[in-house]
Structure 1
Amino acid sequence: MADELIDILNKNAESTGEVRLKSEAHQLGLYHASVHIWLYTIDEKVLVQRRAGNKDTYPNLWDVSVAGHIGAGEFKEDSAIREAEEEIGLSLKKTDLEFIGNYLSEKQPNVHIIDNEFHYVYLAKLTKPIEHLTLQKEEVCDVKLIPIQVIKNHLEDLEIKKEYVPHDIEYYNFILKEITNRFQ
């Protein structure tokens, strides 16, 4: 969870040419970019990770398979590949990644963080058994595979939904629809 340099964007996701520490971007509410990689299996399950208990935002909640900030000057795909390797020990190639869009998230998860972030979202097939993944304990405390329909049910149940990072429901619906489309 080291503080890293990231590129600052405007509200149209265009680079301002400014580079700041991630902590500064969060403190000041500056727009920046991240990658989200949603991993799915051929039997229609989605890998979710439980965020580590020491995370500044949403500790111990279930979240996207892999996510992270895009480093200053870093290409999106390179960031996605790096994050998958760091967080869960999964080696991906650019050809494994399917870009499905970007999503603006404007959240204030606590009084110290204003997170204005463009998520660049990728899908990838998970072909490695989850028992063979190596979790980065500072970031991830658990992973599990959940059937797509079960995730949909969880997001409709107000109590169970509290166990997930509170992304906008439109974001979750977009992701689950895109993954479901891969099986039709």
Structure 2
Amino acid sequence: MTGRQKILVVNEKDEVIGEKYRRDMDYDQDIFRSSVLWLTNSSGEVLLAKRVMTKKKDPGKWGPSVAGTLEVGETYDSNMVKEIQEEIGLGGVKLIAGSKIFEDVPRKHFIQWYTASVD
């Protein structure tokens, strides 16, 4: 990801209030949106992903199967579909929307959780 991406900026009610280039985000103040997927198979195994070492946040750490920050023009659902295709090369995954939560450490953001199962 680069600083040229325009990220949706939202308020405390998850209402869009603007957009900023990633490089211009003030992560102490700006609130953004992300979508996250936990992917399992019929045996109950979970696909985990390891973050690349070039990431500013948590390089090299293991995390959810797929995750992404919403860009201008995206919904939580459309972002998740795009990220699944980009990160693990799957299309047509039946998503089940879970909880949407707000986290403020280390960065302020809303997270829409999804689950799916594929074999």
TM-score normalised by the chain length of structure 1: 0.60
User: Which structure has the larger Rg?
Assistant: 1
**Does the CA contact (< 8 Å) of 1:102 and 1:118 recur in 2?**
yes
Q: Name whichever structure is richer in helix by fraction.
A: 1
Correspondences of 1:1-184 after superposition (within 5 Å):
1-3=1-3, 4-16=5-17, 18-93=18-93, 96-108=94-106, 115-127=107-119
CA gap 1:60/1:36 in 2 versus in 1, 3 angstroms: same
**Does the CA contact (< 8 Å) of 1:41 and 1:125 recur in 2?**
yes
**Does the CA contact (< 8 Å) of 2:2 and 2:22 recur in 1?**
no
Task: Report the Cα distance in structure 2 between the residues aligned to 1:29 and 1:42, rounded to whole angstroms.
Answer: 41
Q: What amino acid is the match of 2:103?
A: S
Cα deviations by residue, 1:57-108 (Å, 9 ceiling, x for unpaired): 1011000110001111212211101101111212234xx0100121111123
After TM superposition, the runs of 4+ consecutive aligned structure 1 residues lying more than 4 A away are none
Which runs of no fewer than 5 residues in structure 2 stay unpaired? Answer: none
Taking every aligned residue pair, what percent have the same amino acid on both sides?
Answer: 25
* 2:46 partner SS: strand
Cα deviation, residue 28, structure 1: 4.6
Alignment size in residue pairs: 118
Cα deviations by residue, 1:110-160 (Å, 9 ceiling, x for unpaired): xxxxx2110111111122xxxxxxxxxxxxxxxxxxxxxxxxxxxxxxxxx
Q: What amino acid is the match of 2:113?
A: V
Q: What amino acid is the match of 1:66?
A: V
Q: What amino acid is the match of 1:102?
A: K
TM-score normalised by the chain length of structure 2: 0.90
CA gap 1:23/1:126 in 2 versus in 1, 3 angstroms: farther
Task: Report the Cα distance in structure 2 between the residues aligned to 1:92 and 1:37, rounded to whole angstroms.
Answer: 14
Which runs of no fewer than 5 residues in structure 1 stay unpaired? Answer: 109-114, 128-184
Cα deviations by residue, 1:43-67 (Å, 9 ceiling, x for unpaired): 1111110101111110110001100
Task: Report the Cα distance in structure 1 between the residues aligned to 2:31 and 2:70, rounded to whole angstroms.
Answer: 12
